[in-house]
Structure 1
Amino acid sequence: MLSILKDLNHYRSFLICFLLLNCNKEQQQLQKIKGYALGTSYSISYIASELNPEVLIQRVDSIFEVLNNSLSTYIPDSDISKINKGDSLLVVDEHFAKVYQKASEVWEQSEGFFDPTVGALVNAYGFGPGKSIKKVTDKKRDSLLILTGWSKTKLTREHTIKKVNPAIYFDFNALAKGYAVDVLANYLKSKSLESYLVEIGGEILAQGKSPKFQGFWKIAIDDPLQDDERKFIRTVTLKNEALATSGNYRKFAVDEDTGLRIAHSINPKTGLAIPSKVLSASVKAPDCMTADAYATALMVMPLEQSQKLIDSKPDLEAYWIVSDSLQGIRELFSKSFTN
């Protein structure tokens, strides 16, 4: 999973995770707020309006607090934490329900390669809030796979969560950041803003046109083979749409015995956390939660299968960076991809 949700009550200035390229001499006044939330940096840019930046910061703060209390596995008394501990009577809020429903959709479309019940394995490999295991043996992995399987869970009409096994552990980090982007964007839209860009940890939604560009917003995608100096491999134009990128090149663990990297994108079918030839996957979609979820799925699915999936979705576009011993580093694009 790309990011870890954390409970943070104070948001501080932090480096934003995208590059804005100045392409237009004619500048309008651009307001920007930025800080730290959900375990990563965030930034909101918008054309100046009557919306007071201080008021916006307060509202953003309250939105993050609500989302943390619903979806953060790092808060012991959040809704998701209570459910992970076996609470079957808790009535979840609209945020949890929407994320659950989107997860169900992408789980089905990806044929199970996207599965937020992989949380027990996420913890075991050291990527979650739970206690990690020094070495995940085949026997231990098999026992944790029993706790994996989206079909073993259900959102009831009463908005409670039923699980076949109470030890099944949800981890929504693969789409929670994207959902938070959508919630913030909807708030800006409710305030009659027509042009803005919302970014949380590299997951982005852009609306309208940027005063810094000649037209629509432009976003730079990280080079997955960059060294200490940050580099970008491609610039993508967003036309009232979202972009999410998933990759194993930044977040990984190292096996103490072998020295090999352990990828944080875990295959829910095998329980393995082994890097594939896909270095990163970026998805454009009408909303950021969808883009976020599918970007994660593409990191786990076999490459050809993931390409067929995206090409079957007219509202999705995808861009892969892959590496293999024969052809080296390559860029691949879905049939509908526009730059």
Structure 2
Amino acid sequence: MGLIYKILLALLPLFLFSFFREEPPRLYLVHGYAQGTDYHISYYAKDSLVTRGQVDSLLQVIDSSMSLYKPYSQIARFNAGVSGLSIDPHFARVMKRSFEIYKDTQGKFDVTVGPLVQAWGFGPKPVTTFPDSTALKEMMKYVGMDKLQLKGNLLTKTHPEVRIDLNGIAQGYSVDVVANYLSHKKIKAFVVEIGGELRIRGPKPDGSPMRIGIEGPSETVDAEPVIRHTIRLNAGAITTSGNYRKYLQKGGKRISHLINPKTGYPLDNQLISVTVYAEDAITADGYDNAIMAMELEEALAFVSAKKKMEAYIIYRRRDGSVADTLTTGFRKMLLQ
């Protein structure tokens, strides 16, 4: 008995270690389709805490609020209305941030470009012709966020023809909603991606940072986009706005889906794409389109003056060749 007791006593620490040892978190992947695009979520946890059904439910609520492709959505009802509408908290949060970015970018970000987006063929209805200068001049009468007012949850407009389009910011907000849901579930390491807009939280369980590939156009015309850089980070959001993927062809010229709210015409400057880093995706997503409307030096100066914002910019030189540049903070995130 004494020998057996000694053996059991010797094995006890090993038994206790095996019994109480925590299993390391596993990688879970969730894929789906929403808001007209794919979404991909990866997270580390000890159990499956977030499912596709839960994510779809979150995104359906947002679509019912701000999707132009849902005739029953609140944004569709507002656009069809005469004066205003009481909107839900999702819609109100996005509008509040939109007003802030509109002011900060001196109108380069403007959610009232809805009629212009539609006129140039990028709205929910197909078009057969592009607008002429007369038609654009008429539409421009109703463009400008000074024609909107938000008081509490009441959104009003000064004229029935004022219409809004939140596609330039709502997807970033959707990413934040899903990311916040994962955080609420006590998930400490994840990547949420919807339509190329990302929110990251890290590090991974092994202590390594998250790695994100930054896409851009190929050097060859009409070739598939390529991964131009890889960054590593443990917190924040990354979004990209560009004119090399979504466009229409008019003769030998590409028509960008990004509309200049100052002129009514599609953007036609040297910038090809802008990738923005910010603390949350609604901020990054809201600013990336506005930065695309700037000239290169203006864009770099604008971002450099912002706290907790960085940018990677791909542009076209005067000779037609493609080049890129980035802010100091973005350079520090690059995987060497």
What is the SS of the residue equivalent to 1:42?
Answer: strand
Tell me, yes or no, if the aligned pair for 1:88 and 1:160 is still in contact at 8 Å. Answer: no
1:93 to 88, 91, 101: 88
What is the SS of the residue equivalent to 1:146?
Answer: helix
Aligned residue identity for 2:75 = I
1:23-172 alignment to 2 at 5 Å? Answer: 29-53=26-50, 56-86=51-81, 88-130=83-125, 132=127, 134-157=129-152, 159-172=153-166
- Measured after TM superposition, the shift of residue 230 of structure 1 is 4.7
The separation in 2 between residues aligned to 1:229 and 1:140, in whole angstroms, is 35
1:256-271 alignment to 2 at 5 Å? Answer: 258-271=251-264
Indicate the percent of aligned positions where both proteins have the same amino acid. Answer: 37
Matched, 1:200 2:194: yes
Alignment partner, residue 319 of structure 1: 312
Distance 1:83 1:61, change over 3 A: same
The separation in 2 between residues aligned to 1:30 and 1:261, in whole angstroms, is 42
What is the SS of the residue equivalent to 1:161?
Answer: strand
What is the SS of the residue equivalent to 2:86?
Answer: coil
Q: CA RMSD in A?
A: 1.8
The separation in 2 between residues aligned to 1:246 and 1:188, in whole angstroms, is 25
Long gaps (5+) in structure 2? 1-23
Aligned residue identity for 2:98 = A
Alignment partner, residue 228 of structure 2: 233
The separation in 1 between residues aligned to 2:232 and 2:290, in whole angstroms, is 23
- Measured after TM superposition, the shift of residue 84 of structure 1 is 0.5
Alignment partner, residue 296 of structure 2: 303
The separation in 1 between residues aligned to 2:146 and 2:46, in whole angstroms, is 46
- Measured after TM superposition, the shift of residue 185 of structure 1 is 0.5
Alignment partner, residue 286 of structure 2: 293
Tell me, yes or no, if the aligned pair for 2:247 and 2:256 is still in contact at 8 Å. Answer: yes
What is the SS of the residue equivalent to 2:300?
Answer: helix
- Normalised by the length of structure 2, the TM-score is 0.87
More helix by share: 2
- Measured after TM superposition, the shift of residue 165 of structure 1 is 1.3
Q: Which has the higher contact order (CA 8 A, sep 6+)?
A: 1
Q: Deviations over 1:70-94 (max 9, x none)?
A: 0001111100000001254531011
- Normalised by the length of structure 1, the TM-score is 0.86
Which deviates more, 85-94 or 186-195? 85-94
The separation in 1 between residues aligned to 2:243 and 2:318, in whole angstroms, is 18
If you compute each CA radius of gyration, which structure gives the higher value, 1 or 2? Answer: 2
The separation in 2 between residues aligned to 1:52 and 1:143, in whole angstroms, is 52
What is the SS of the residue equivalent to 2:209?
Answer: strand
